[in-house]
Amino acid sequence: MRKVWYNIIIHIYCTISKYYTFKRCSLATYTEDIQMDFSRLDVGFLHTVYIILIISLIPIIIFTFWAQWRVSSAFNRFSQIMSRRGITGAQLADAIIQRKNLNTALKMLPPHSNPLENYFDPRDNSIALSQLVFSSPSITALGVSAHEVGHAIQHADKYLPSRVRSALVPVVNLVTRISMPIVMIGFLLLLFAIITPQFALVFMVAGMAMYGASTIFMLATLPVEFNASRRAMAMLSESGALDHEELRGARTVLNAAAMTYVASFLVSLTYFLIFFVRVLIILAATRR
C-alpha cells in the first residue's frame, strides 16, 4: 500500500515537472528533487502569508455574522408583511408544480422546525417547507417557496451545476468527517519523525484534498442557489403572486439568503489556504 501511495505522488510530481515517462522520473529522482524544492521555500515569506490569511479570517467571520443577521432580519421583517393576493407558500408551490408538470411532492416540516429550514430533496424529488412558509401568505413565504420550486425545476431540467452538487453530497459528507484527522495525523507523524517525510506528506496531501472537496462543493452551490433565486423571481412575476413592490421584498429575502452561501464558501476557502500554507511551512522546516 505504501508503494502505491509513493507511485501516486511520483506521478503527480512527474506530471508537474513535465517528465515524459516514469523511466526518467524514479522514486530516487522524486525524493532528491522534492528535498531540494522544499529547502528552497522561503519560510519567512510563508509565515507572512500564513499570518495574512489568519488576519483575513476576521473580516470574513464578521461578514459571515452579518450575512446571518441579514437573512434573519429580512426573513422576520417580510414574514410580517402579507401579500395582497393572500395565497400561501404551499398554494404557490403547488400551483407552479402543476403548471410546470413536475412530479414533485410537497410536505410541511414539523411545527418545532426552524423557520429557515426549507429545502428541496433530489433523492425523493420533494420540497419540505417550514410551517411558517407552508401556511403563510407573507412575502417571505412566497419568496422562499418559489425558490425551493426553482430547485425542483433545476432537477427536472437536469441543470448541470445542480447535478454536480448532488453528486458531491455523499463524497463531502464522508470527507468532511475524516479530512482534518488525516491532516493532523500527517502533522504528528512528521513532527515526531515516526515515518519518513514522504509518507507523512501522503497523509497531509490526502487530508487537504478531502477538505478541498468540501470547498469545491460550496463553490458548486453558489450558481445553484443564485439560479434558483432567479427562477423564483421570474415565477413570482409571471404568476402575478406578488406585485412590483412586493417583488422587491422577496428579492431582498432571497439575496440575503444567497449571501450566507457566499460567506460559507469564503470561510471554507480561507481555512483551506491556511492549512495548505501550514503544510508548506512544516515541510520547508523539515528540509532545513
Which one of the listed residues 148, 225, 238, 246 is annotated catalytic? Answer: 148
CA atoms within 13 A on the CB side of 34: 21
Alpha-carbon distance of 170 to 217, in angstroms, equals 11
Alpha-carbon distance of 270 to 139, in angstroms, equals 35
Q: Which residues contact 31 (CB under 8 A, 6 or more apart)?
A: 198
Q: Which residue stretches of 103-159 are H helix? A: 131-135, 139-157
| C-alpha cell of residue 10 | 511520483
| C-alpha cell of residue 62 | 464578521
Instruction: Count the neighbouring beta carbons within 10 Å of the beta carbon of residue 61.
Output: 14
Alpha-carbon distance of 150 to 163, in angstroms, equals 14
- The distance between the two most distant Cα atoms of the chain, rounded to a whole number of Å, is 75
* 256 burial level (CB within 10 Å; 0-12, 13-18, 19+): buried
Q: Please confirm, yes or no, whether 238 is among the known catalytic residues.
A: no
User: Cell 407552479 maps to which residue?
Assistant: 96
Helix (H, G, I), strand (E, B) or coil at 129: strand
Residue 119: enclosing H or E segment and its boundaries? Answer: strand 119-121
**Which residues are annotated as catalytic?**
148
